[in-house]
Chains A and B, each alone.
Chain A
Amino acid sequence: MLICVSSFFFSSVSHSQITRLYSRFTSLDKGENGTLSREDFQRIPELAINPLGDRIINAFFPEGEDQVNFRGFMRTLAHFRPIEDNEKSKDQNGPEPLNSRSNKLHCKKCEPSYRSNYFSFFVLRMMVGVNISDEQLGSIADRTIQEADQDGDSAISFAEFVKVLEKVDVEQKMSIRFLH
């Protein structure tokens, strides 16, 4: 089962790394039922203090579900695997790999944040807590949207989002490298 998952999602992740991630998965699984709940994630202190922690946790749970198994866990993590040189030259017509640039952006699940003014404000609020007033935060959100908005609908579409982040090295900034 382990091997099967590994070859499906991680063509270049070694057996030991999968085993290590599996042992990480089981150590997070306090209920010992083979799945993780939101509670299990929240028990990681460094994640609990992350202002966007709850959003990140949500990325592991498909709509309406409150348990994630190892397969689902790996599927979400797979977005953050670095793109290797030999993969870049792969068949362009094939299905898009999970760790591709646009999937990395999608996966953040903060994606509603650039869909409309309201969401952008909401995510900002999560990041800053109570330290900035509604007015000031609103103006920050407005300015961000104005800068990115090209079609004048006062909202950031996915294409616009990608355009803003064009220069950012997403592949590098959103990739997590394994130690060998």
Chain B
Amino acid sequence: MFLLLPFDSLVVNLLGISITVLFTLLLVFIIVPAIFGVSFGIRKVYMKTLLKIFQWATLRIERGAKEKKHPLYKPYVNGIIAKEPTSLEEEIKEIRRSGSGKALDTPEFELSDIFYFCRKGIETIMDDEVTKRFSAEELESWNLLSRTNYNFQYISLRLTVLWGLGVLIRYCFLLPLRIALAFTGISLLVTGTTVVGYLPNGRCKEFLSKHVHLMCYRICVRALTAIITYHDRENRPRNGGICVANHTSPIDVIILASDGYYAMVGQIHGGLMGVIQRAMVKACPHVWFERSEVKDRHLVAKRLTEHVQDKSKLPILIFPEGTCINNTSVMMFKKGSFEIGATVYPVAIKYDPQFGDAFWNSSKYGMVTYLLRMMTSWAIVCSVWYLPPMTRQPEEDAVQFANRVKSAIARQGGLVDLLWDGGLKREKVKDTFKEEQQKLYSKMIVGNHEDRSRS
């Protein structure tokens, strides 16, 4: 026993030193820059190196498959079948034109009209616009994550080694580092906001609260190795406004909040999220709702209006889609936040899926699994565009205004602008939509005037 002691103390010493070194490095390279909001550019270099490696890996797979004469799976980024974006009316007319020499514009029923509905139906079975928005998008090149590639089984030895190295780096180096950072960030947020919450209201409290929030979000951003490019920062949301953004994952919040100071809106959760939310609300006026209150739309609208009318309060951050979409499109905006009448600051967020898919498929993975996937990805790379503020025009209703904001976001972010409701992820489509189609077709066969025999 005695003989072992010196060795023991050596181990303890070494361990102590290495932990100290690790923490100093963490402090110098991550936490201090996070507090002041500067970056050394390490992440940019890391990103460029990765891109080169991915390119090489994709080429290597293609070559390998060719040598072994394996058929190669090509991703269909633009869908699998050719579709023409024509309306029901145009297409039926086109079918009729080719079919009969009859007058085209007289409303009438033709047997060939059935073709239109049949083909459309089969097309949607092979590929549709809505359901594919709720699963991860396909990638053109391989990013050395086994979860993203179908050709994975054909890779060469060198590529396997590279992939293994990647796993080692991601799980043994990046993951612990990120967990440590996330832990630091969240515990700082909770303690910081709680302490600030005890200060008397005033400028000092506001200033401290703002900086505690910003610092903690910046640490969290580093915990995900998020590389974010902010465009047009002069359009950043101002007090008394509503910031609306497209929604891909829960980390959207961290990404936006690390560059601006927002009042959050949402439902009080249980567990860890609940603790964070309750601590945050002490330091600054976030708008949290109890589960029972969310159902009451009038109450929600009233509290949001009150918040917005107080010009000293922070801009509200809202994701009007109400659910996470896979970052290829923007789906219907719920009209609630556009009824309030405040200035809307649209924000477009576009992730680069090459380094790791940020989309949270909430029906497939839980929150913890999702975060684990995020933390074992290479990085989260994204662009954020602040669009010029928009206000509701006098002749517009809330739905039209919501659509106008949505298409502005879609255009800027390079996303597909869809009218469909994101809630279809969980629910079935309402019958009224089918009735609308039937109405449209009825007009084609009996004309525009109202049905006479029904009166």
17 contacts between A and B (CB under 8 A): A17-B80, A46-B120, A46-B130, A47-B121, A48-B428, A49-B436, A51-B437, A80-B119, A129-B434, A129-B435, A133-B451, A169-B98, A173-B115, A173-B119, A174-B118, A176-B119, A178-B82
CB of A165 within 8 A of chain B?
A: yes
CB of B20 within 8 A of chain A?
A: no
A140 contacts B434, CB within 8 Å? no
Per-residue 0/1 for A136-171: is the Cβ within 8 Å of any B Cβ (1 yes, 0 no)? 100010011000100000000000010011011110
Given A49-B434, A51-B434, decide whether A128 and B441 contact each other with a Cβ distance below 8 A: yes
Top-10 shortest CB links A-B: A129-B438, A15-B71, A56-B121, A131-B442, A168-B99, A46-B124, A52-B117, A45-B429, A128-B442, A49-B433
Q: How far is the CA of A178 from the CA of B441 in the complex (A)?
A: 28
A77 contacts B80, CB within 8 Å? no
CB of B16 within 8 A of chain A?
A: no
CB of A130 within 8 A of chain B?
A: yes
| Residues in chain A near residue B82, CB distance under 8 A | 176-179
Partner of B453, one of A17, A80, A124, A135: A135
A176 contacts B117, CB within 8 Å? no
Q: A16-B76, A144-B111 are in contact. List 15 more A-B contacts (CB 8 A).
A: A14-B71, A16-B72, A27-B135, A44-B131, A46-B124, A47-B121, A50-B434, A51-B434, A52-B117, A52-B121, A108-B118, A110-B118, A127-B113, A129-B442, A173-B95
B128 contacts A44, CB within 8 Å? yes
- Interface residues of A, dominant DSSP: helix
Given A123-B114, A144-B111, A167-B99, decide whether A51 and B451 contact each other with a Cβ distance below 8 A: no
CB of B126 within 8 A of chain A?
A: yes
- Interface residues of B, dominant DSSP: helix
Q: How far is the CA of A175 from the CA of B453 in the complex (A)?
A: 38
CB of B153 within 8 A of chain A?
A: no
CB of A38 within 8 A of chain B?
A: no
Q: How far is the CA of A23 from the CA of B126 in the complex (A)?
A: 10
| Residues in chain A near residue B443, CB distance under 8 A | 131
| Residues in chain A near residue B131, CB distance under 8 A | 27-28, 43-45
Q: How far is the CA of A108 from the CA of B428 in the complex (A)?
A: 25
Residues of chain B touching chain A, judged by Cβ–Cβ distance below 8 Å, are: 71-74, 76, 78-82, 95, 98-100, 109, 111-132, 135, 150, 420, 424, 428-429, 433-439, 441-443, 445-446, 451, 453-454
Q: How far is the CA of A108 from the CA of B95 in the complex (A)?
A: 16
B122 contacts A80, CB within 8 Å? yes
Partner of A24, one of B116, B126, B129: B126
| Residues in chain B near residue A173, CB distance under 8 A | 95, 98, 112, 115-116, 119
Partner of B76, one of A28, A46, A80, A179: A179
Given A19-B73, A132-B451, decide whether A41 and B98 contact each other with a Cβ distance below 8 A: no
Q: How far is the CA of A146 from the CA of B443 in the complex (A)?
A: 22
Q: How far is the CA of A140 from the CA of B82 in the complex (A)?
A: 34
Interface residues in A35-70 (C-beta closer than 8 Å to B): 41-53, 56
Q: How far is the CA of A123 from the CA of B109 in the complex (A)?
A: 12
Chain B, residue nearest A110 (CB): B114
B130 contacts A20, CB within 8 Å? no
| Residues in chain A near residue B109, CB distance under 8 A | 124, 140, 143-144
A49 contacts B442, CB within 8 Å? no
Query: Closest CB-CB distance, B77 to chain A, in whole Å?
Result: 10
B111 contacts A165, CB within 8 Å? yes
Q: How far is the CA of A163 from the CA of B87 in the complex (A)?
A: 28
CB of A113 within 8 A of chain B?
A: yes
Query: Closest CB-CB distance, B160 to chain A, in whole Å?
Result: 22
Given A20-B76, A49-B434, A176-B81, decide whether A131 and B117 contact each other with a Cβ distance below 8 A: no
Q: How far is the CA of A45 from the CA of B130 in the complex (A)?
A: 7
Query: Closest CB-CB distance, A54 to chain B, in whole Å?
Result: 10
B445 contacts A128, CB within 8 Å? yes
Q: How far is the CA of A173 from the CA of B99 in the complex (A)?
A: 10
Q: How far is the CA of A114 from the CA of B109 in the complex (A)?
A: 13
